Amino acid sequence: MKHLLIVLFASFSFCCLGQTKTISFSSDKLNEKRDLYISLPPSYEKDPTRHYPLLVLLDGDYLTGPFANTLNYGSYWDDLPEVIIVGIKQNKNDQRAIDCGVDPVTGMPDGKSIDFFDFISLELIPLVQKEYRTTNFKIIAGHDTTAAFLNFFLYKDKSLFNAYISLSPELPINMENELPDLLNSSKIPLFYYLSSSNGDDPKTQERIKSLNSKIKANSNPELNYKFEHFDDASHYSVVLNSIPSAVYQIFGTAQPISIPEYNTKIVTLKEGYVDYLKKKYDIIENSFGIKKPMRINDIKAIEAAILENKDYNELDALAILADKDYPKSMLGDYELAIMFEKKGDNPRAVRYYMSGFNKEEIADLTKDMMFAKAEELKKTFAKKPKIKGKVGQDTSAADAQTTETPVSEEQKQ
């Protein structure tokens, strides 16, 4: 896994950095200018109606690249949604220690770190939401010092972020005791990812493991929690090991239908295959604010489950969904054609195959295929010659095979 990540980040670095720009923001809260790294999704300029989740990165100097590379790779395969990334530059003159400083007695932000907290919540987030097309779903991530600081946004009555990625946090005093109660008392859905490694300071490891145990001791249905400890990672390579796991945890429900999902959750249903698909995309929209057409492969997965369970009437509802998202394509007509063919109504199946023939091809559906299917089915209901029997012979059986074949006056005589 580690070697795969190294290759992945190396091969995508130039592509990612080419899409990242640096802007200078004058902050009233910090009383200074602060550089921000803005990484926009590849589709941002192509689709002006589309909105994206927001990922805010502390330690943006070195976290922007790895996060952007992972998300770009995942979105390339339609495995992860595209995300707007804003990284905060913090490395100048030990800036991160100043930004994230805490009172040694209370363990809470003080002085400049309060200003940094207000900068993020009162200036940065409103700026990004005004200037860029973001959804309401927001993620924050950090490493060691900043990974601990980001937890303070959970101390507010209403969490500013929906998801937290804390990589080897160096916890302030008493945070491992306070944070579990905050997470487990949340009334809104929250994602929380926590990681550590053998390369971390032993005391840091001990406190992170204590934090993990206390979070797991309680069960909050609103909390989607994951902890990972990497035995063979250093304090720095834990970042590269953690990022893919963290983003896939958060966006797991937005992924395409997988083979395990199909085998365990879909094909085993007795009914409601199309409802399952609709509910999946409702969750994506309601959780992440992402509104997108249903994937062709997801529609085909539901089609496969319907066919396997011989619940052919559900193909009608699936055709309606296909026509809604792909109105110019032959997909909806294809689903109806399959439905009538499976139900033995070949004339109506031919009608929909030919209707689809006149529309746009999509995925593996082609005009040649639609025409060939229609021609093949036409042979099953073509006119057949009347079988003449001997005088006095009962020909009702032969006539029954040609019930739709007109009988001429000459034949009657």
- Judge whether 47 and 5 are in contact, CB under 8 Å: no
CB 314 within 8 A of CB 342: no
259-381: CATH, from 3.40.50.720, 3.30.540.10, 3.90.330.10, 1.25.40.10: 1.25.40.10
CATH code linked to domain 2-254: 3.40.50.1820
Does this model's pTM top 0.75? My answer is yes
Q: In the predicted model, what is the mean pLDDT of the chain?
A: 89
Q: What average pLDDT score do residues 104-109 get?
A: 94
pLDDT of the residue at 398:
42
pLDDT at residue 391 above 70?
no
Instruction: Give pLDDT, residue 219.
Output: 81
Following DSSP, what letter does each residue of 293-362 receive, concatenated? PPPHHHHHHHHHHHHHHT-TTHHHHHHHHHHHH-TTBSHHHHHHHHHHHHTT-HHHHHHHHHHHHTSB-B
The sheet with strand 134-143 has its strands ordered as 20-27, 32-39, 84-88, 52-57, 134-143, 163-167, 190-197, 223-230
| Token digits of residue 242 | 């953690």
* pLDDT of res. 218: 83
Any bridge partners for residue 159, and if so which?
Answer: none
What residue spans define the domains of the chain?
Answer: 2-254, 259-381
* pLDDT > 70? residue 78: yes
Between these two residues, 405 and 292, which has the higher pLDDT value?
A: 292
Closest Cα partner for 297 from 269, 257, 337? 257
What's the rounded Cα separation, in Å, for the pair 402 and 264? 46
DSSP state of 80: S
pLDDT tens string 328-363: 999 999 999 999 999 999 999 999 999 999 999 999
* pLDDT band at residue 92 using 50, 70 and 90 as cut-offs: confident
Instruction: Quote the pLDDT of residue 169.
Output: 98
Higher pLDDT residue, 405 or 346?
Answer: 346
* Matching residue, tokens 């929906």: 162
The rounded percent of the chain whose pLDDT value lies above 90 is 84
Distance of alpha carbon 95 from alpha carbon 59, whole angstroms: 10
Q: Is 174 left (phi over 0), alpha (psi -120 to 50) or beta?
A: left
State residue 172's pLDDT score. Answer: 96
| Cβ neighbours around 207 below 10 Å, total | 20
CB 332 within 8 A of CB 326: yes
Rounded Cα–Cα distance for residues 115 and 56 (Å): 17
Sign of CA dihedral 309, 310, 314, 318: positive
Query: At 104, phi and psi to the nearest 5?
Result: -65, -20
